[in-house]
Amino acid sequence: MAVMDYISTRGSAPTLDFRAATLAGLADDGGLYVPARWPQMTADEIRALAGLDYVETAVRVMAPFVAGVLSEDELRGLCKAAYGRFGHDAVTPLVQLDHRHWLLELFHGPTLAFKDVALQLLGQLFETFLRGGETELTIVGATSGDTGSAAIEAVAGRDHIRIFMLHPEGRVSDVQRRQMTTVLAPNVHNIAIDGSFDDAQAMVKRLFGDAEARSRLTLSAVNSINWARLMAQVVYYFYAAVRLGAPERPVAFSVPTGNFGDVFAGYVAAQMGLPIARLVVATNVNDILHRALTSGDYSAGTVTPTATPSMDIQVSSNFERLLFDLSGRDGAAIAGMMAEFDRSRAMTIPADMRAGAQALFSSARIDADGMTLALRWAQERGGQIIDPHSAVGLAAARALEIDGDVPVVTLATAHPAKFRDAVERATGVRPALPPRLGNLFEREERYSKLPGDYDAVKAHILAEAARG
């Protein structure tokens, strides 16, 4: 299998192999790494996935992306270690709601969110790539709720890695916060900032471009800006689709979307040959992606806090990866577009690029009432208690016209117990935390509170890192 190279969406960073791209996270020209080409799976190869378990499916789907760095046997060992801790043997089971709507449950990992599917593997990759070396990796990330706990769970206590995770104070659920702040491993540093997720994410991106920080730290990312995270998420699109009849039958997916990472993984699956009828981008009232896809208006407004905090985002980092493909992989053009966006917080998606996106993507903006109605429909008609983010996805799936013979899969991105108050308000049911989370509300918390100021955050990270 030919070695897979990775290139930046902005065209001027060095080409890297899978190991180097994983450890780097963000490219040094500010762009995001993507494979130099999309690997192809034939209909026969997709058909052959039908009888396989999740680990074996993962090996077949991901092998081309790690070619030249990991053998299939090495990849298989990492996948077994990553997915052996999940609470369901299927890892990402499908649940039927009615004759055409399905849920893909992505919350059976240790922190009850879809991020575990990728981050449990990413933790294994980091440890493998750093083993035996002298490099001390400093992971810096921002979270709107779930990435933080999943990343911390994946790397807590691991050698040669320390992690700093920023979250917007008061804008994540109490379960989400405690899943981060009660991990007391010495290599884990939680920071609550006075600001929004977008503010936190902007600080992380700025740190990666900061020459002083890069000279003192070996920085890496666990946010979905890291290609390895998206790669792991591609797998469950194949796993679900073959169980619903692919490749003979196309399947549609509805994805609750904030940062565009999870739905971009669906795009990758489609580029690889999986017959995806539609990818539905489901947003809440923070609807920059819906506006971009429908009218070309990619402009950041003020973030409105909602009952779906993981989607309270106005700047979707991974959208750049899609724009790169839609531009014919013109790195210079993307660098220009993103510079304009950074300057004015707005840009217009050209009509030809928008038309290219609309060939596969649909979108819907779901408000609080729409989310509540979907929660109730899932409970009353589908027999399922779901979380608010999944409800946004389900509302979008049911709102859009998709051919009647196409099954529609909504990605269920979090366990409902992570958002107990919102679920209870809509359904009258207060979902219980699974036993494996144990005494979460009795554990000691530890985190630093900092102003929404880049210099203060940078100084804190450098000082803590220097302490070792």
Of 263, 301, 295, 297, the residue nearest 389 (C-alpha): 263
Would you state the pLDDT for residue 404? 84
Of 197, 159, 198, the residue nearest 176 (C-alpha): 197
Residue type, 143: T
User: Which structural domain, as residue segments, surrounds residue 273?
Assistant: 94-113+227-427
Please identify which of the residues 80, 115, 205, 458 carries the catalytic annotation: 115
Tokens 């596969």, residue located: 360
Residue 240 located in a structural domain:
yes
Would you state the pLDDT for residue 394? 98
Of 433, 410, 411, 431, the residue nearest 420 (C-alpha): 431
CATH number of the domain within which 268 lies: 3.40.50.1100
pLDDT tens column, 74-121: 999 999 999 999 999 999 999 999 999 999 999 999 999 999 999 999
Would you state the pLDDT for residue 348? 96
Residue 8 located in a structural domain:
no
Query: What 8-state DSSP symbol labels residue 444?
Result: P
Would you state the pLDDT for residue 166? 97
Residue 208 located in a structural domain:
no
Would you state the pLDDT for residue 155? 95
Of 418, 412, 425, 410, the residue nearest 376 (C-alpha): 425
Whole-number Cα distances in Å, 255 to 111, 173, 211, 411: 19, 21, 37, 5
Q: Characterize the bridge pairing of strands 251-256 and 408-412.
A: parallel
Would you state the pLDDT for residue 352? 96
Buried b (16+ CB within 10 A) or exposed e, 207-232: bbebeebeeebebbbbbbbbbbbbbb
What residues contact residue 219 under an 8 Å CB cut-off, 6+ apart? 25, 138, 139, 140, 207, 208, 213
Of 26, 83, 121, the residue nearest 129 (C-alpha): 121
Would you state the pLDDT for residue 78? 98
Residue 3 located in a structural domain:
no
DSSP letter string, 364-394: EE--HHHHHHHHHHHHHTT-----HHHHHHH
Residue 85 located in a structural domain:
no
Number of domains making up the chain: 1
In this structure, how many other beta carbons lie within 10 angstroms of the beta carbon of residue 435?
7
pLDDT tens column, 223-274: 888 999 999 999 999 999 999 999 999 999 999 998 899 999 999 999 999 9
Distance CA 391, CA 441 (A): 26
**DSSP-based three-state secondary structure for 158:** coil
Q: What is the pTM of this model?
A: 0.94
Residue 350 located in a structural domain:
yes
CB 256, CB 311: distance < 8 Å: yes
Q: Characterize the bridge pairing of strands 161-168 and 188-193.
A: parallel
SS percent in the chain: helix, strand, coil, step 5:
45, 15, 40
Distance CA 297, CA 347 (A): 7
Residue type, 351: A
CA angle 340, 345, 347 (to 5 degrees): 55
| 115 classed as catalytic | yes
Would you state the pLDDT for residue 191? 98
Residue 338 located in a structural domain:
yes
**DSSP-based three-state secondary structure for 237:** helix
CB 416, CB 386: distance < 8 Å: yes
Would you state the pLDDT for residue 133? 82
Distance CA 180, CA 194 (A): 17
pLDDT averaged per 10 residues in sequence order, the chain, 468 residues: 94 97 92 97 98 97 98 98 96 97 97 95 95 89 88 94 95 91 96 93 91 94 90 98 98 95 97 98 96 96 89 91 98 97 94 96 97 97 97 96 91 94 95 85 95 96 91
Would you state the pLDDT for residue 409? 98
Would you state the pLDDT for residue 243? 98
The pair of structure tokens assigned to 111 is: 């922190």
Query: What 8-state DSSP symbol labels residue 9?
Result: T
Report the Cα–Cα distance between both ends of the chain, in Å, rounded: 40
Residue 446 located in a structural domain:
no
Report CA dihedral (99, 90, 224, 69) to the nearest 10 degrees: -130
**DSSP-based three-state secondary structure for 256:** strand
